[in-house]
Structure 1
Amino acid sequence: MQIHVIQPGDTLAGIARAYGSTVNDIVEANDIPNPNRLVVGQTVVIPIIGSFYWVQQGDSLYSIARKFGTSYQELARINRIPVDQPLRIGLRLYIPQRPKVRSETNAYVEPRGNTVAPALENAAREAAPYLTYLAPFSYQALRDGSLKEPLLNNFPQIARANNNTLMMVITNQENDQFSDELGRIILNDMTVQERFLNNIVDTARRVGFRDIHFDFEFLRPADREAYNNFLRKARDRFRQQGWLISTALAPKTSAEQKGAWYEAHDYRAHGEIVDFVVIMTYEWGYSGGPAMAVSPIGPVREVLEYALTEMPGNKIMMGQNLYGYDWTLPFVQGSTARAVSPQQAIQLAADNGVAIQYDQKAQAPFFNYTDREGKRHEVWFEDARSIQAKFDLIKELNLRGISYWKLGLSFPQNWLLITENFNVVNQT
């Protein structure tokens, strides 16, 4: 597949001719929200086998081959040019499809309110063919060791139909907030803990969960070892059933990192105890903070490289956002940015007649606009370039895979590029 960045004067008809595709195929593949008002800087994924590259100043067959993970001899053979021929600037070279690597994918799905919105269920159904795990969020632990169940609706059936492993996500949330006191009770009161584990086993058997996933956050630092011991006990119980166990971890860059969200998460212990972890490498740019990329590639890399010093890569799933934010400027502490999907962000840029820019350091797209009330806005989101950068990082670091927070915000380019980069594992 080819990632094309819209330039001034581009039309879908011209792009289709350039790549040997069709307008309909491009529109359908990307679910383009603005086919008649393309935005400069917008990305379009061309659904072709392999890709094309136009020679630039300073390029050589060797440097181009290295860029795309092939050999200069193979590049010369495919394009029928001598290996020692100087390259003309603007020459179009065909780049063969790169080999895919094995990977696992997870996606959380979070029903809100009293019913499951049909659109959310449809989003799960559309994503499921690309997933290893489907994770309804979440079962909430209660202080007596019982469980408050989420709205499951047809999610178990969707998982079964697509050979997804159904993930039982369990949190220490009360009133939609993570509770250190609830965590303290579950991790230290052995009577409550035993009842808690029994309820998990009974529920997982009844519903058909095959991975038990603990997302315990904002724990007391004093409960670090209690959490580790709890996970050891849970692992032994779940292995008797043939189930996996996994955890969600805050994005740390050292074992000594301070803060309520970090200190009780022991990367080395989790790497030894559980089958895999999801590291929440997103929310640097968040709804309650100043405008910036949600998951800038540099900080994401720093977290993952630290994690690799504590556990093997085949136990690490990189967390990835499927959304961006629209901030009103200037940022005021206490204000809240609006979440937007990549599709909504593109439409917003089109509606306001502004170009999409790309931050090379963060590897993320953004733009600014002024609304009808004269208020300035800054939008950061994800596109084909930013998600490809994350996929390249997963392959470079030999990680287990990627975990998405969360379904329901449309990003069709992500799923196109999943199939281009990975052979996704489906566990039956």
Structure 2
Amino acid sequence: MQIHVVKRNETLTTIARTYHSTVQDIVEANELPNPNNLVVGQAMVIPIIGHFHFVQSGESLFTIARRYGTTAQELANVNRIPVNQPLQVGLRLYIPEGRKRNAEFNAYVEPRGTTVAPALENAAREAAPYLTYLAPFSFQVNRDGSLKEPLLNQFPAIARANRNVLMMVINNQEQDQFSDELGRILLNDIAIQDRFLNNIVTTAKKYGFRDIHFDFEFLRPADREAYTRFLRKAKQRFQREGWLMSTALAPKTSATQKGLWYEAHDYRAHGEIADFVVIMTYEWGYSGGPAMAVSPIDQVRKVLEYAITEMPSNKILMGQNLYGYDWTLPFVQGSIAKAVSPQQAIQLAARHNVPIEYDTKAQAPFFRYRAEDGKQHEVWFEDARSIQAKFDLIKELNLRGMSYWKLGLAFPQNWLLIVDNFNVTKRGT
């Protein structure tokens, strides 16, 4: 698989010719929203086996081979050139497809309102072949330990058909807000806690959930140990049923990090007790804040490098957003940015005829445009380059895989790059 970034005056025809592909294959692979109006800086995947490398100044077969995990001799043989031949800048070298490691992938799907939109169900159906887990969001707990079910519709059937483990996501929300008081009750009132666990077991058996996933956030710092005790108790209960147990964790960079989102999350304890964790490495750029990358890789790296000092790396799913935001400038506190999919972001750039730029520190694309009302906007989103950078980090840190928040916003390049980089583990039956 090749990632190509559109340059000025390029067309699909010239790009296809460069990589021995076809216009139709490129359009279909990327579900291109703008095939006749490509944007300078737009990243696309070219659906070929292996990929091409264009030699840069100072590179040799040996440095290129090291970058791609192969040998100079193999590259020389494949490209039919002498192994010690000096390389001309711009020379196109074919890089064979490398060995792929196994990895696990989860995606949350969040129905809203009173019905499941057909488009959301279709998004789950299209993503499921690339997933290990499918996670309807979410079961909410009442203060008496009873459960309020989310809209499930065909999600259990989709999971079964694609050998996904159906993940039972449970959180401590009340009226769509995380509640520290609800958390306090569930973690400290043993009678309610036992009723809560009994209700989980009954419901999981009813629908076929095989991973119980606790997304408890905004807990009181005083409940840190109570949360750990609860997880030990829950793990023993679910283990008897043959189920997995996982948790969602706030993105910390130290054990002593302050704040209600962080202090009750004990990375070391979760790493010991849970089968795996999802670390929510996104929302640095968020709808209520100033414009910036949603999951800048330098910040993501800091969190994950800390995490692997506290728990086994093969228990960690990196959290990843499937969306970006469109902010109105200048940023005003209290304003809300609009969520956009990668496809919608590209359409915006094409409609306003502005180039897409790439922040190399954050490893994220962005652009600015002036809307019809005259207001300036800034958009940060994800593309093939930014997600490949995250996949490279998964390999570097030997993580378990990736967890997506959330299905329903189109990002076709992501799914193609999963199978180009990894063998997706299937745990379902």
TM over 0.5: yes
Using the TM superposition, give the Cα deviation of residue 21 of structure 1 relative to its aligned residue in structure 2, in angstroms: 0.8
Query: In terms of mean alpha carbon deviation, does 94-103 or 278-287 score higher?
Result: 94-103
Distance in 2 (alpha carbons) for counterparts of 1:245 and 1:98: 33
CA distance, structure 2, for counterparts of residue 98 and residue 294 of structure 1: 30
Q: Distance in 1 between matches of 2:28 and 2:183?
A: 46
1:407-426 to structure 2, matched below 5 A, reads 407-426=407-426
TM score, norm. by length of structure 2:
0.99
CA distance in 1, matches of 2:162, 2:212: 19
Aligned position for 2:329: 329
How far apart are the structure 1 equivalents of 2:218 and 2:379? 29
DSSP-derived class of the 1:309 partner: helix
Tell me the distance in 2 between the aligned counterparts of 1:89 and 1:304. Answer: 36
* Letter of the 2:336 counterpart: T
Aligned pairs (5 A) from 1:102-121: 102-121=102-121
Q: Name the amino acid aligned to 2:89.
A: I
Distance 1:98 1:8 in 2: 31
Tell me the equivalent position of 2:363. 363
Q: 1:59 Cα deviation (Å)?
A: 1.3
Task: Point out 4+ residue stretches in structure 1 off by more than 6 angstroms.
Answer: none
Aligned to 1:195: 195
In structure 1, the partner of 2:215 is 215
The equivalent of 2:295 in structure 1 is 295
1:232-272 C-alpha deviation (Å, 9 max, x unpaired)? 00000000000000000000000000000000000000011
2:305 — aligned with what?
305
The CA distance in 1 between the partners of 2:246 and 2:252, in whole Å, is: 17
CA shift for structure 1 position 77 = 1.1
Question: Who is 1:260 aligned against?
Answer: 260
Partners of 2:21 and 2:77 in 1: CA distance: 24
Q: Deviations over 1:404-423 (max 9, x none)?
A: 00000000000000000000
1:70 shift after superposition: 1.2
Unaligned 5+ segments in structure 2 are: none
For 2:134, give the aligned amino acid.
L
The one-letter amino acid of 2:105's match is T
The residue identity in structure 2 corresponding to 1:150 is: P
Distance 1:256 1:404 in 2: 27
Q: Which amino acid aligns with 1:16?
A: A
What is the identity, as a one-letter code, of the residue corresponding to 1:408?
A: G
Match of 1:30 in 2: 30
Residues in 1 aligned to 2:83 and 2:28: alpha-carbon distance in whole angstroms: 38
Paired letter, 1:295: S
Matched pairs, number:
428
**How far apart are the structure 1 equivalents of 2:354 and 2:66?**
35
- The runs of 5 or more residues in structure 1 that have no matched partner are none
Distance (Å, rounded) in 1 between the aligned partners of 2:220 and 2:90: 59
Matched residues in 1 for 2:373 and 2:8: separation? 28
What RMSD over aligned residues (CA atoms) do the two structures have, in Å?
Answer: 0.5
- CA deviation vs aligned residue, 1:298-357 (integer Å, no higher than 9, x gap): 010000010000000111000000000000000000000000000000000000000000
CA distance in 1, matches of 2:384, 2:248: 26
Letter in 1 for 2:420: E
Matched residue, 1:386: 386
Deviates more, 1:172-181 or 1:13-22: 13-22
Mapped partners of 2:212, 2:394: distance in 1 = 24
Partner of 2:69: 69
Cα deviation 1:189-219 (Å, max 9, x = unaligned): 0010000000000000000000000000000
